[in-house]
Structure 1
Amino acid sequence: MGDFIVKHNTNGVWYGEFASLSAKGIKHGISTRLGGQSSAPFASLNLGLHVGDDTGVTWQNRQAFCQALGLSADHAVTAEQVHGAVVYQVNAQDAGRGSRHYHEAIKDTDALITNVPGIPLMLFFADCVPVIIVDPVQKAIGISHAGWKGTIAKIGQKTLLAMGQQYTTNPADCLVGIGPAIGPCCYEVDKVVINKLQENFSCWEELVTPAGDHWHLNLWEANRQQLREIGVLDENISLSGICTACNTQIFYSHRAEAGRTGRIGVVIAL
């Protein structure tokens, strides 16, 4: 966890960042559940507009989180995440889409990329894997939402390849941060998931640990492996190593909290 640091802002918000990305001047942050206004079961820094929390309070939380990072919540671009593998290229005219109202977010999308300065890309998580990608050479960024379906569909890999198509990004130049998500200690899956994993990962046996008639799946490593496949250097990939299900006092966990919980936000901007 050495590269991932949790900070406390003067406005009360607690959030994490990757030192390797901050060293490149990239504004980014991974929120915790600490320092917001939401009531239980969303206490307290819920950033998801679609979970049943008070939307006015959620907007206040989004403003506080972005303020802690020196970013504008009004300009943030979000998506209606569906556990798919669609990557959307964000342009200047998209600024603010979904920042205040869920129905205005980009439809059916689980990854965002841009090379436009000043537009924060923001996605939401409660066990799924946040994958943050920075191309410091071509000045482009991306963010992916990788649950088991997105991970198996290689959404992180597809996000970086889309950056290559749009911005001539070279994977070898990129820095990647893989944020807090449910860990292999807690993520138990069945044969349906394993069959899909076998179809898409030749190294699938390295990603699982048998547990009776189920398996424990390492989503962190699955996302790292798919990026290594296309040329991201090992030394440029940072894992937070934090399991959200083990740490519900700090992060939201859909599985550990039986689906009734909030969402952390992951944001990045040029």
Structure 2
Amino acid sequence: MPFVEINGLEFFKFDLLGDEVVQAVFTRKGGVSPMPWDSLNLGGTVGDSRENVIENRRRIFEALGIEVTSIFDVWQIHSDMVLYSDKPRPLDHPHEKADAIVTNNPSVTLLMRFADCVPILLFDPVHRAIGLIHAGWKGTVQKITSKTVQFMQESFQSKPADILAGIGPSIGVDHYIIKEDVAREVAETFGNKVGEVLQAANGDIHFDLWRANEILLREVGVKSIQIAQQCTACDLKRWFSHRAEQGKTGRFAALIKLRPS
């Protein structure tokens, strides 16, 4: 499996995205937070101390050899909002609200936080642009993934066929049970492909977020896609899972940054 360990921290790395970007989806290992956020918690609104989160953030940037002052992150709200930034967010400035962020500036590190929702990393090696998406069920049915690709087309002249996409660690279909009202929204979005993303088992409805976001990517022309095949609810020693831990857990970080050309 494509896991890397540096300074006691462990992260997943997509082979597909290559070496032109710095990219990582960090596990929960190697931080300073106590239970139930043990230990590399990057979530600032889950009850952990601010000091712990800041130290954990420092550690992940140090492990990758990049400056924490390069960060651009947002307040994630389960929307279909996409933001472009050509500069970092000053650490003492408030967050803007969005669930997808893009840049073409090598001085900017895109970062988002997860605990079951899908991290999706995008890289256009031709026009040298990157994107990072937070796709829970709400973002998925609002097609935030395809909207981010379209945003990159408009902003950077990216061609979807050139874009490389990594669908990261998140809750797998076996553990992701949804209610009938959510299933109806899924059916409205995916139409005749709904059978590929919804499964029935023991009277429950399961939603396959990995396949759903793969479909959205392919529908807008993205061809090169790698799925991590890492279920957060299956491996609590490695990942935070909001569902499997009944909400008493932390958030792991995914980030991507262009290397200077």
What is the TM-score when the length of structure 1 is the normalising length? 0.92
Q: What are the Cα deviations for residues 178-234 of structure 1, in whole angstroms up to 9, with x where unaligned?
A: 00000001001111111001111120111111124431110000000000001111x
Give unmatched runs, 5+ long, in structure 1.
Answer: none
Name the Cα RMSD after superposition: 1.2
In 1: Cα distance, 2:16 partner to 2:202 partner: 39
Matched position secondary structure for 1:104: coil
Match of residue 208 from structure 1: 198
Moved more, 243-252 or 198-207: 198-207
Aligned pairs (5 A) from 1:103-122 = 104-107=94-97, 109-122=98-111
Matched position secondary structure for 1:53: coil
Matched, 1:69 2:58: no
Matched position secondary structure for 1:28: strand
In 1: Cα distance, 2:79 partner to 2:241 partner: 20
Match of residue 40 from structure 1: 35
Match of residue 52 from structure 2: 57
For 1:183, the aligned partner's letter is G
Q: What are the Cα deviations for residues 102-158 of structure 1, in whole angstroms up to 9, with x where unaligned?
A: x71112x10000001121000000000001100000000001000000011111111
In 2: Cα distance, 1:218 partner to 1:269 partner: 28
Aligned residues: 257
Give unmatched runs, 5+ long, in structure 2.
Answer: none
Match of residue 3 from structure 2: 6
Offset at residue 252 of structure 1 (A): 0.1
For 2:33, the aligned partner's letter is S
Offset at residue 69 of structure 1 (A): 1.5
For 1:14, the aligned partner's letter is E
What is the TM-score when the length of structure 2 is the normalising length? 0.95
For 2:28, the aligned partner's letter is R
For 2:131, the aligned partner's letter is G
Matched, 1:227 2:217: yes
Offset at residue 24 of structure 1 (A): 3.9
Aligned pairs (5 A) from 1:1-270 = 5-9=2-6, 11-21=7-17, 23-92=18-87, 95-97=88-90, 100=91, 104-107=94-97, 109-202=98-191, 203-233=193-223, 236-270=224-258
- Identity across the alignment (%): 39
Matched position secondary structure for 1:216: strand
In 2: Cα distance, 1:85 partner to 1:256 partner: 25
In 2: Cα distance, 1:96 partner to 1:209 partner: 41
